[in-house]
Amino acid sequence: MAIIGIDLGTTNSLVTVWKDGASELIPNAFGEVLTPSVVSIDENGGVYVGKIARERLISHPENTASVFKRFMGTDKVYHLAERDYTPQELSAYVLKKLKEDAEKYLQETVTEAVISVPAYFNNAQRDATKQAGVLAGFKVDRIINEPSAAALACQQLYPEEDVMEMVFDFGGGTLDVSVVDCFDNVINVVSVSGDNHLGGYDFDMAMAKYFCEKQKIDYRELSRNERAAIIKSAELCKQELSTAEHSDMVVNYNGEKKELTFDTEKMIEASAGIFQRMLKPIKQALIGGDVTMDDIRRIILVGGSCKMPSVRLYLQHFLKKEVVFLGSPDTIVALGAGTYAGIKERKAEIKDMLLTDVCPFTLGVDIVGGSLSPIIERNNALPVSRSGIYQTVSDGQEELHFHIYQGEAPVASHNVLLGEIKLPVPKAPKGVEKADIRFTYDINGILEVDAKVLSTDETAHLVIVDEKNHMSEQQVNEALSSMQALKQHPRDKEENAYLISRCESLYALAGIQLREFLLHELEIFQYWLDRQDEMKIKKARNRFKTVLDLVEDKMKVFNMEDEFESFSAGWYKEAKKEELDLDMEDEWDEEELKDWFKEGHMTS
């Protein structure tokens, strides 16, 4: 049975499988390999995942959730259509969708997956990811660090070389930097570092705030919808700047058109802090691996945010190294996860390949005075087991009590608290009673703690999970049955639902007259859907799609609300006059409709 690889991304998710000697991307119902990590619930209890849900971010923001990966392992709750959802439940919907796509593609049931996570994910975040996998119906026995997956995929691209490389993985929500040594069949992750709150989304936010500042809009006063719309236009503007010299960011605010032209310099000015923050993890990764930039042959760029030429230039300028930008950086982690799935399946071509990973952070306990006593140092090869001896610090002390932390700050409480462990000890003068604390960190990045009082052999064992957010078996079962209660839309209905969502999100952005037009088109489509005649629906769908494509195209061409308004005004008037033939019994000619659009609007 096939094992699949999954990159559960902040913005998009991908699924892969090892097939015919290579890792292969699996397309979704739309024939696309990127499935947006967005979940939306409709008023009838139907769940949408991916592209349709992403459209609904604009038309139904209150019932749609995105960027939830950032909150994995926390107690954040999303309230959608009268129900609460945890980040792991939302992730489970995405995973379930990918599972279905994979099953359809492979024509077999898939139950096992290798899922990638950012190296900096702590126990609670990894645990939440595993739970999401379980909720989606997977056995997840391998969580792989994203930079390691990226390294694995890159090794497939440069298989003949024995070199040390730096993988710079800059996605929507996280930055991971790793130093990787590749020789023979071994891919050795030497050190990793990162910032799990730095990504493309920060550029969008920075540009959105810059825009508001220049337009004298108080960002804090904006509604959720208004913020979402401004951030979305900022993201589009940012992406356009990757291929164009200028890009206009246009926002319809309180019925008024607000506009600001960005060029790369202005974008950099708006997001200067983000560029600065990129260097820190690079330095940390070099120090952690005890290497210098001279040891590194090249920097491999991964992740959607590396499509920004300014990011590439910045790195080249500061690091003075060959920068390899792989055509489609956003697929690399997924391909690596697929390669790992192939290794797990012991596929002949790669069964001898070995991936060694490291512990991405220091793990330790607090000691008297509040400082952190490291037990497992960062960048130790995995799996790793280390122990330390700790003693009582006051006379007659009856208990040893440790807090377990992850992180690099010398003051224990400035790190991430993972859990605590208590051990009773016999009363004795200080320093007499001692305990051995052993940390075992496995290849999935899950920490186990064993403590033993030396004089009594009293032991305590702890698998570190965040009790507050870890779901009990009963909770998992409850979540599973409520997931089943939500309707999954059949695949063939997805295209229809997608067009409706697209129309609704165009509607949300459009002015009054165009809204009437879109509504009218939506009603026509709905009319044919209700009649449930597949042939007619197909025709109506083609027409609806062409109409939406043209509207979207025109919105891009004009990109200005007032021109757009007059364009739509003329358009609409003519549409009314001609009374567009709604009778679908007649053959409908796509070319004719296109011409009609051209004549009606380009010249008006």
Which pair of structure tokens corresponds to residue 9? 């991304």
- Cβ atoms within 10 A of the Cβ of 514, count? 22
CB of 240 to ligand AMP, least distance (A): 8
Shorter beta-carbon distance to ligand AMP: residue 262 or 528:
262
Give one word for 532, left, alpha or beta, with left for phi > 0 and alpha for psi -120 to 50: left
Q: How far is CA 122 from the centre of its chain?
A: 16
Query: How far apart are alpha carbons 599 and 604 in whole angstroms?
Result: 8
CB of 262 to ligand AMP, least distance (A): 12
Residues near 136 by Cβ (< 8 Å), separated by ≥ 6? 92, 93, 95, 96, 99
Shorter beta-carbon distance to ligand AMP: residue 11 or 16:
11
Shorter beta-carbon distance to ligand AMP: residue 16 or 397:
16
Query: How far apart are alpha carbons 328 and 237 in whole angstroms?
Result: 20
CB of 65 to ligand AMP, least distance (A): 16
Query: How far apart are alpha carbons 5 and 156 in whole angstroms?
Result: 16
CB of 538 to ligand AMP, least distance (A): 32
CB of 203 to ligand AMP, least distance (A): 7
Shorter beta-carbon distance to ligand AMP: residue 206 or 509:
206
CB of 318 to ligand AMP, least distance (A): 19
Shorter beta-carbon distance to ligand AMP: residue 207 or 537:
207
Residues binding ligand AMP (CB under 6 A): 9-12, 171-172, 199-201, 235, 238-239, 242, 303-305, 307-308, 330
Check residue 44 and report its DSSP letter: T
Shorter beta-carbon distance to ligand AMP: residue 171 or 288:
171
Shorter beta-carbon distance to ligand AMP: residue 199 or 360:
199
CB of 239 to ligand AMP, least distance (A): 4
CB of 269 to ligand AMP, least distance (A): 17
Query: How far apart are alpha carbons 41 and 79 in whole angstroms?
Result: 10
CB of 331 to ligand AMP, least distance (A): 9
Q: What single letter denotes the amino acid at residue 385? A: S
Shorter beta-carbon distance to ligand AMP: residue 288 or 338:
338
Which pair of structure tokens corresponds to residue 558? 């004009």
Query: How far apart are alpha carbons 225 and 202 in whole angstroms?
Result: 18
Query: How far apart are alpha carbons 232 and 542 in whole angstroms?
Result: 27
Residues 501 and 59: beta-carbon distance below 8 Å: yes
Residues 486 and 45: beta-carbon distance below 8 Å: yes
Which pair of structure tokens corresponds to residue 96? 């379930």
Residues 571 and 604: beta-carbon distance below 8 Å: yes
Shorter beta-carbon distance to ligand AMP: residue 150 or 353:
150
Annotate 292-302 with b (16+ C-beta within 10 A) or e (fewer). eeebbbbbbbb
